[in-house]
Structure 1
């Protein structure tokens, strides 16, 4: 029995409780022990750990167990106490409880109760939710229990509780420590029979303040004998939990929201019989080989016989031919903007209609390469907004994408035929989700990292001619490489209006007049994309001085990082270089009085760097250079305060670097 107990223990370190005196919410004397509402709960007007909060959980508690008297259904008792601080927090008074309904069995809810408490002078008043105000809405998969608390007002405390019953024990019950508002305290207890073997996984970067497990003897009867089995009783708790707020440069929030997840591996009956629920990757590999949608389609090389033009098929198997095959598939077969890995996929339909989903197009690309004798593998993965696939246990619903890994003379290329604006060896931005599973049916599948090679770049080379009246003309030659080029090509394809394109492709200072815009390389993804602008800037003359900002084009107009703290990585998707070189021509009637100072700014480990210089070449010319390098595609959350300050300084350089020119005394 002890062997059955061990897998139920969480495999991560336990943090000790911080001392009570150091806890801000305890200084406010909230009741974080239960759902009883106190005057201290009601009197609070602010939540000190997050003074921007409009509402927060004072207390949240859950308890899940499998009931041996109810067909071994899973029951979860839930209770919560929410403080409303102001009118902006009223959204938290509307509650939605989803209940999954399968083909034969559905989840149920029992004993739903809710009430609103508020202060009436020095007395506590409460208004209970009427059962007639509880509604049910439904769709194909779920019933949604909905209600809104009565008498909501600033300062009120909302309390509700219920018991959920589910026949679906595979995923047990996910406990979400983090939500869109902060929590002072959240606790989750489970009582799991020892013969139920779950993988228990903690997600997110927040650490547990409590992680306890103990054995409860003779707690569970499986119905096969009079002998009762043991249970593992666990308690997980966190306090002062920050709200999860989505910010730019994030994949899926579900990768990082702090929670506890369960996946049932097997049940060992008390007579020793084992029922397995979770497969291993070797089992999945075998299924893929025979799967009618993936495995069989990958072997349909005969369908592409004689489809490849003779001028391509006749070439030697080198990189040039590989690029030609890629371009042929990309140009002749179009993506219908549908994902799906295990949905119906038929290469015959794709070849007839010339359109198909992601998997169809890339399986076709795979088969062309395979038929020509290249070493090529399918890779299953997930889009950025889908979340990371689980590595330990195969959960096939985690995957919604397939691309191709081509091995040419020992160098590997990740290929995707769904986007006509991509370069060879470039995956769509949506597919930059850190890793995928390479399927090798001759050997064994394995995980591979998805790391775009090299840097994507934006390079501005500007010539800025200042007129006597302080206005100026900027002639800008822009060179875009990598993901910046593919994104720009897509925008050019959608809208050829020059004014619209200027705004879509650049961040420009507020006042300007576009004179002209031309571009080249927009149709050839093997070439860099070049754009040429001519722009008139208004005069910044005040009295006898001209205040000139040399930057017509800004990399960022404002800092995208605004959170006080961010407990999840900053994921740009790829490494970046931005550069702006500006030669400024000064008219003869103006003297150069002031130029900005040089700045070199970096963050730890040289993970990002700014180099800014402004040089007076002679009485009529100034040279300004700004170079920004992000040498990592993803930064751990520990870098956030450094990146936030870094971006502040970058924005300041581009928006507040002023060259002062003064009229000469004649």
Structure 2
């Protein structure tokens, strides 16, 4: 076997990507999934059976990529697609935008763009071809955008378009997106890669390939330096019945999970045997960081912070108390300007002068204060949640846009970020909870660390509810916020100027109410839990001689955020949390308690979550209600989705449908 073929072939054959047959429902609507020829069955179709909510869907999509022979060795990709429009809500799929990157090595180009709308006139197939004058180009600094809209659009139409994309940029080859925001009946991607081009090839997302074939094509590529042709690896990847990727709450970035094939050029072996490497190893990156004028040199500028620390802090022993003082000093005196990035716009001199800088500048300054005081501290490079996970296999520095520090003090490690005034010491901002980061250790070797918050974030309600004879009730409630819930609440209080706005911002309120009083404590003290106190009057709930009372004024969830039939990506809350409501209900003396809610205990698989609901009558006129909800994991695999969906459904029902029934005593009625 050609020595160039083995690494790539092993990569493909050893991956965990295996074809799986879809169920018998595949293509039961007789769609043509072999090419872009449009059939009457496709034009008559008025729904897509695997997803009856779809407004449009791909019937067929195909791509083929190859590197041309010759001097330039550009990458060419032939693309074609056939899209069914079911109704007017699907018209947006007729607006096509093709981005063309332009960089220092040239601009991507598009050739042979064709687009046609097919529709029925009676029982006759008609078509309208896109005029070249209706193709437009917009541009910005990095991209040209080719845009057009299909002509003669109408419900039931089938849209067909194709083009040939040329690019001089081979590093990422061509990413193939199996999943988009509408479903696909069939999507297929073929490649022909010269054997001396070695790529790291990765399938992203949880969907399995239905076809994953690799073969060797002899004498397919002439390098121009020899009359002997080189071999190629040919691959075919295909998926059928691909569901739409629909973004739902508790998702980091869709780019972590949307199903696709990605490429990164590792190296090219020239025909003379020399190897040109394109992908670095982490040890190479570590070496560059030591001398880099951005991170490397800035991390060594601890001399800039000498004598900046107040004497009352600098004079303390190097313990946890002093570490907190340093952290608070930096956070209070140097502000984040809202910008990210770790390789540019980082300048400590500017930060010290202006007292504002990007996220990395502020945290590098924090790092240097600790270094100057003799603490053990390391910079951590990472990415924000909405950016996606950095790749672990190979260092792709553009994946990173965030930097914080890891402090070791008194035998414990603390992850610190001084850019958020609402987080406590040892707590990262929510935006930074992106699973893992890279610890830079210039004396030894960098390594990956997990970014998992310690402990549970909490919301606790301590309610005292007094029911009056007219059915109204007065509530005194103390709400306790800890961890990330406290950070969120403090931020909302800061933005709200009136009591009513604070009440609305912090709570889901079940019914109409009248706010009588509100106050809060520890809103600026991050070391303590946030306390918010309310007094509220609820509306009348009396019908004839009975009072119907729901004891829950405040709801943990007003509705279930999980609405999909199926979710093929994890549920990422970011942190573990617990919710508690402890309610003491006092009823009127002339009423008896005739009905209380039933006790419920509901659990998630593997003890990963639990709801405990208890309603107990303490005496003739006092009830005790307790609702305790715990999520023991910060992230749940997609297999948990149906259980979590039902779990929160039950929680919403408990809070919305729990009823206490009070009945006026007979002797009282007789007196009346």
TM-score under structure 1 length normalisation: 0.99
- The whole-number CA distance in structure 2 between the counterparts of 1:566 and 1:469 is 47
Q: Which residue of 1 aligns with 2:15?
A: 12
1:70 Cα deviation from its structure 2 partner? 5.9
User: Which SS does the other structure have where 1:568 is aligned?
Assistant: coil
- The whole-number CA distance in structure 2 between the counterparts of 1:16 and 1:314 is 65
- Match status 1:2 vs 2:5: no
Q: Which residue of 1 aligns with 2:108?
A: 107
- Match status 1:282 vs 2:247: no
Distance 1:104 1:5, change over 3 A: closer
1:53 Cα deviation from its structure 2 partner? 0.5
User: Which SS does the other structure have where 1:2 is aligned?
Assistant: coil
Q: Which residue of 1 aligns with 2:402?
A: 401
Q: Which residue of 1 aligns with 2:176?
A: 175
User: Which SS does the other structure have where 2:329 is aligned?
Assistant: helix
- The whole-number CA distance in structure 2 between the counterparts of 1:615 and 1:6 is 70
TM-score under structure 2 length normalisation: 0.98
Q: Which residue of 2 aligns with 1:264?
A: 265
1:27 Cα deviation from its structure 2 partner? 1.2
Q: Which residue of 2 aligns with 1:430?
A: 431
User: Which SS does the other structure have where 2:284 is aligned?
Assistant: helix
Q: Which residue of 2 aligns with 1:566?
A: 567
1:17 Cα deviation from its structure 2 partner? 4.3
Question: Contact between 2:217 and 2:233, CA under 8 Å: does it hold in 1?
Answer: yes
Q: Structure 2 matches for 1:379-528, cutoff 5 A? A: 379-528=380-529
- Match status 1:335 vs 2:336: yes
User: Which SS does the other structure have where 2:224 is aligned?
Assistant: coil
1:408 Cα deviation from its structure 2 partner? 1.0
1:664 Cα deviation from its structure 2 partner? 1.4
Question: Contact between 2:43 and 2:119, CA under 8 Å: does it hold in 1?
Answer: yes
- Match status 1:208 vs 2:209: yes
- The whole-number CA distance in structure 1 between the counterparts of 2:472 and 2:111 is 73
- The whole-number CA distance in structure 2 between the counterparts of 1:319 and 1:447 is 25
1:311 Cα deviation from its structure 2 partner? 1.0
User: Which SS does the other structure have where 1:286 is aligned?
Assistant: helix
Question: Contact between 2:17 and 2:203, CA under 8 Å: does it hold in 1?
Answer: no
Q: Which residue of 2 aligns with 1:122?
A: 123
Distance 1:70 1:539, change over 3 A: farther
User: Which SS does the other structure have where 2:153 is aligned?
Assistant: coil
User: Which SS does the other structure have where 2:225 is aligned?
Assistant: coil
Distance 1:12 1:452, change over 3 A: same
1:123 Cα deviation from its structure 2 partner? 1.4
- The whole-number CA distance in structure 2 between the counterparts of 1:638 and 1:464 is 40
Deviations 1:589-619 (A, max 9, x none): 2111110000000110011110001111111
1:122 Cα deviation from its structure 2 partner? 1.5
Question: Contact between 2:458 and 2:482, CA under 8 Å: does it hold in 1?
Answer: yes
User: Which SS does the other structure have where 1:101 is aligned?
Assistant: strand
Q: Which residue of 2 aligns with 1:351?
A: 352
- The whole-number CA distance in structure 2 between the counterparts of 1:284 and 1:139 is 31
Q: Which residue of 2 aligns with 1:164?
A: 165
- The whole-number CA distance in structure 1 between the counterparts of 2:299 and 2:329 is 19
- The whole-number CA distance in structure 1 between the counterparts of 2:263 and 2:321 is 48
Deviations 1:341-391 (A, max 9, x none): 111211111111111110010000000101111100000000000110001
- The whole-number CA distance in structure 2 between the counterparts of 1:368 and 1:254 is 36
- The whole-number CA distance in structure 1 between the counterparts of 2:246 and 2:647 is 21
Q: Which residue of 1 aligns with 2:187?
A: 186
Comparing 80-89 with 119-128, greater Cα deviation is found at 119-128
1:104 Cα deviation from its structure 2 partner? 4.5
- The whole-number CA distance in structure 2 between the counterparts of 1:501 and 1:79 is 53
Q: Which residue of 2 aligns with 1:648?
A: 649
- The whole-number CA distance in structure 2 between the counterparts of 1:23 and 1:383 is 42
- The whole-number CA distance in structure 1 between the counterparts of 2:375 and 2:121 is 78
- The whole-number CA distance in structure 2 between the counterparts of 1:58 and 1:371 is 63
Q: Structure 2 matches for 1:560-639, cutoff 5 A? A: 560-639=561-640
- The whole-number CA distance in structure 1 between the counterparts of 2:568 and 2:111 is 36
Consecutive unaligned residues in structure 2, runs of 5 or more = none
- The whole-number CA distance in structure 2 between the counterparts of 1:229 and 1:358 is 49
Question: Contact between 1:14 and 1:209, CA under 8 Å: does it hold in 2?
Answer: no
Question: Contact between 1:7 and 1:199, CA under 8 Å: does it hold in 2?
Answer: no
1:517 Cα deviation from its structure 2 partner? 0.5
Question: Contact between 2:20 and 2:208, CA under 8 Å: does it hold in 1?
Answer: no
1:468 Cα deviation from its structure 2 partner? 0.5
- The whole-number CA distance in structure 2 between the counterparts of 1:657 and 1:519 is 29
Question: Contact between 2:70 and 2:223, CA under 8 Å: does it hold in 1?
Answer: no
Deviations 1:375-429 (A, max 9, x none): 0000000000011000111110000000000011321100000011110000000
User: Which SS does the other structure have where 2:551 is aligned?
Assistant: coil
Consecutive unaligned residues in structure 1, runs of 5 or more = none
Question: Contact between 1:73 and 1:166, CA under 8 Å: does it hold in 2?
Answer: yes
Deviations 1:50-80 (A, max 9, x none): 1110000000000000001361000000000
- The whole-number CA distance in structure 1 between the counterparts of 2:37 and 2:508 is 53
1:439 Cα deviation from its structure 2 partner? 0.1
1:25 Cα deviation from its structure 2 partner? 3.6
Question: Contact between 2:62 and 2:189, CA under 8 Å: does it hold in 1?
Answer: yes
Question: Contact between 2:115 and 2:159, CA under 8 Å: does it hold in 1?
Answer: yes
Q: Which residue of 2 aligns with 1:51?
A: 52
Question: Contact between 2:406 and 2:416, CA under 8 Å: does it hold in 1?
Answer: yes
Question: Contact between 1:477 and 1:530, CA under 8 Å: does it hold in 2?
Answer: yes
- The whole-number CA distance in structure 2 between the counterparts of 1:545 and 1:115 is 68
Question: Contact between 1:25 and 1:48, CA under 8 Å: does it hold in 2?
Answer: no
- The whole-number CA distance in structure 1 between the counterparts of 2:17 and 2:344 is 42
Question: Contact between 2:71 and 2:224, CA under 8 Å: does it hold in 1?
Answer: no
Distance 1:421 1:14, change over 3 A: closer
Deviations 1:197-249 (A, max 9, x none): 00001100100011000000000000111010000000000001000000000
